[in-house]
Amino acid sequence: MPVDVKTYRENSRAELEKQLREAREELLRTRLNKQTGQLEKPHLLKELRRDIARLETLIHEKRRSEAASA
């Protein structure tokens, strides 16, 4: 599921926030599956956490660039 940062950079801030929401929901479902013993790929937890961090970083960068240009 990891996505290249270049792909994320092409998106608008609203799209990034939507993807962030979806990634957090997926992380929640994955954690629940881990607790119930249904998770077959535990490495997904680490990938999702890193994707969320990437998204948060890009959103922060876009906010700063919008504030600087305004």
pTM of structure: 0.88
Q: Which domain holds residue 20?
A: 5-69
For the cut 90, the answer to whether the pLDDT of residue 55 exceeds it is yes
**CATH number, residue 53:** 1.10.287.310
Q: Between these two residues, 7 and 29, which has the higher pLDDT value?
A: 29
Nearest to 26 by CA among 8, 52, 6: 52
The label of the residue with tokens 């609203």 reads: 14
When divided into structural domains, the chain yields a total of 1
* Cβ atoms of 31 and 70 closer than 8 Å: no
